[in-house]
Chain A
Amino acid sequence: AQRVTQPEKLLSVFKGAPVELKCNYSYSGSPELFWYVQYSRQRLQLLLRHISRESIKGFTADLNKGETSFHLKKPFAQEEDSAMYYCAPWADTGRRALTFGSGTRLQVQP
């Protein structure tokens, strides 16, 4: 079965600490992978996608096909990074829509 797993419901770090939000997927084919973010009282928005290999707001995510992971990382967390983060694969077989993980709430404390 196709599945995406975000094992941590809550990740709390201090400002300036490194952050790693975990995402593991189990998908047939070669999924496109995305991270979406939802700041408090705002809409879901795209943070980054693996194919573009960009760094957005200091976040990066590397696709590791061997480990089937797409962890989101930032070397120095900022308070404004506090939000819900969703890993979302888009498979090229089966359902052609985003499938969201359960999400991780990142809390950056001052």
Chain B
Amino acid sequence: EPEVTQTPSHQVTQMGQEVILRCVPISNHLYFYWYRQILGQKVEFLVSFYNNEISEKSEIFDDQFSVERPDGSNFTLKIRSTKLEDSAMYFCASSSLDGAVAEAFFGQGTRLTVV
């Protein structure tokens, strides 16, 4: 069964460094998402991506964040100049259609620890 794959599973980085979280969505999916979950808190929407551009982003997704689909298979989340409060679990998701119609499939998450 196809799965959304995220790498790495755990990333430790120093405050102020840039990190890139990688996701390989399911191959025929068209809609891509990033969510994050700070320890003990709810899963929060960051950004949605369709047709090679951001379709929507939350207030969390400020200039520190960017997303890219560089090669038609990977979907990346870049966090510039990481802060301690960026420590969280980051989930990638994809769906074949608008998620109101089709199920969103989630990756297993990348745990980002900023020290």
Contacts and interface: CB of A to CB of B under 8 A. Distances in A.
Contacts of A102: 41-42
B56 interface: yes
Nearest to B58: A95
A96 interface: yes
A96 B99 contact: yes
Of listed A44, A46, A97, residue having the most chain B CB within 10 A: A97
Interface stretch (B66-74, B77-85, B101-109): B101-109
B100 interface: yes
Contact of B106 (A43, A92, A103): A43
- What range describes how many residues of A lie at the interface? 10 to 19
A31 to B, nearest CB: 9
Interface of A: 32, 42-46, 49, 86, 90, 92, 95-103
Given A44-B93, A96-B98, 13 more contacts: A32-B100, A43-B106, A44-B106, A49-B103, A86-B42, A90-B100, A96-B99, A97-B99, A98-B33, A98-B35, A100-B45, A103-B42, A103-B43
